[in-house]
Amino acid sequence: MARRSTVSCAVVLASGGLDSTVTAALAIEAGHEVFWLTIDYGQRHAVEVMRARQVAGAMHAAKHTVVTIDLRALGGSALTGELAVPKNRQSEERAQGVPVTYVPARNLIFLSVAAAHAEVEGASLIYFGANVLDYSGYPDCRPEFIRAFEAAVKAGTKRGAEGTAPRVYAPLLDMTKADIIRTGMRLGAPLHLTHSCYDPVGDLACGQCDSCLIRREGFLKAGVEDPTRYAVG
């Protein structure tokens, strides 16, 4: 399909997870031409990237770009290899402090790559699946970070100098996981293809990491059957 000048373009940071898939569905619903962007950063759960491709395919992505960044070279996170992923933590425990699954400056790096992609493709928006309620422990999901990042893009890119810096839009920011799942169902997003697990066992989700626990609770609260195949039921 030829690009129509009346359609605004949006870059969607798509990890193959639940949140970014619903975020992409919202971008499509809003009528944007969507540029899917996935970062292969050497994550333990590299199955994410494959799932991102499947999700993008199922949602008829016109363009899906995968950028490789070797964050394993830096270390410092359970998701890039050094530390063990915590299992079976209660919600109170999960709410305390920054977890070891925090990847140093990950969203700063990912959004920076998204800003570059938006600059090249002429996109006016970056859709970002951050969720402040579920992930209060991750500073790079906070609204004040998003605003500060936008200011950096405005000050430090060609598009910013021209007065057309892309904005960052995080439509899930105030939604619960159950809300996100209900929104995905309403929009027909392929939630069965999404992947949330930090520490998958082959094709199966572990069922015990923070991300699996939050996902399971979300489907339960949404009253939607969870399509995920877990190693531990």
Which helix (H) or strand (E) is 92 found in, with range? helix 91-94
DSSP character at residue 80: G
Classify strands 9-13 and 125-127 as parallel, antiparallel or unpaired.
parallel
Q: Is 119 in the site for a second copy (CB under 8 A)?
A: yes
CA distance 34 to 2: 13
CA distance 207 to 12: 27
The interface region with a second copy, picked from 26-34, 49-57, 151-159, 201-209 by CB under 8 A, is 151-159
CA proximity to 165, closest of 175, 179, 155, 178: 155
Q: Residues 50, 76, 132, 164: which binds a second copy (CB under 8 A)?
A: 76
Q: Is 120 in the site for a second copy (CB under 8 A)?
A: yes
Task: Count the residues of the shown chain that bind a second copy, applying the rule CB under 8 A.
Answer: 45
In whole angstroms, how close is the CB of 219 to a second copy at the nearest point?
Answer: 29
Q: Residues 92, 144, 163, 233: which binds a second copy (CB under 8 A)?
A: 144
- Residues of this chain that interact with a second copy (CB under 8 A) are 65-71, 73-76, 98, 102-109, 112-113, 115-117, 119-120, 139-140, 142, 144-145, 147-149, 151-158, 160-161
